[in-house]
């Protein structure tokens, strides 16, 4: 490769049209869950301190980014909430 050639651009990840989590940030997921259930309801469904003891989005994100099992529970609850909301509309 000479000085004037650019390296090829990185391959873009495959599109995931059927994945409702695709393109969503963890912050958006937590914010939507708090809007739907409230902190108390979220703490009842997923009993972790970041939701039950002086909860905030920032502290929750910090914990969830370091704790894969808790993040999976949050993502699962978000998917359940989406299904629940869709059913309620019908």
Residues 9-45 pLDDT 10s: 666 666 677 888 888 999 999 999 999 999 999 999 9
Residue 4, classed as helix, strand or coil, is: coil
Residues 47-83 pLDDT 10s: 999 999 999 999 999 999 999 999 999 999 999 999 9
**What are the tokens at 87?**
């059913």
pLDDT of residue 56: 96
- pLDDT higher than threshold 80 for residue 7: no
Cβ–Cβ < 8 Å for 13, 75: no
Q: Show me where the domains of the chain are located.
A: 26-89
Cβ–Cβ < 8 Å for 61, 26: yes
Confidence of residue 46 (pLDDT cuts 50, 70, 90): very high
Please give the CATH number for the structural domain made up of 26-89.
Answer: 1.10.720.30
Quote the longest CA-to-CA distance of the chain: 61
Q: How far is CA 27 from CA 12, 23, 31, 61, 87, in A?
A: 23, 12, 6, 7, 24
């Amino acid at each position: 490769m000479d000085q004037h050639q650019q390296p090829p651009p990185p391959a873009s990840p495959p599109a995931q049209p059927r994945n409702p989590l695709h393109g969503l940030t963890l912050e958006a997921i937590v914010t939507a869950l708090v809007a739907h259930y409230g902190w108390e309801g979220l703490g009842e469904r997923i009993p972790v301190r970041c939701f039950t003891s002086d909860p905030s989005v920032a502290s929750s994100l910090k914990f969830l980014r370091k704790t894969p099992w808790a993040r999976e529970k949050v993502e699962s609850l978000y998917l359940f909430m989406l299904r629940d909301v869709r059913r309620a509309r019908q």
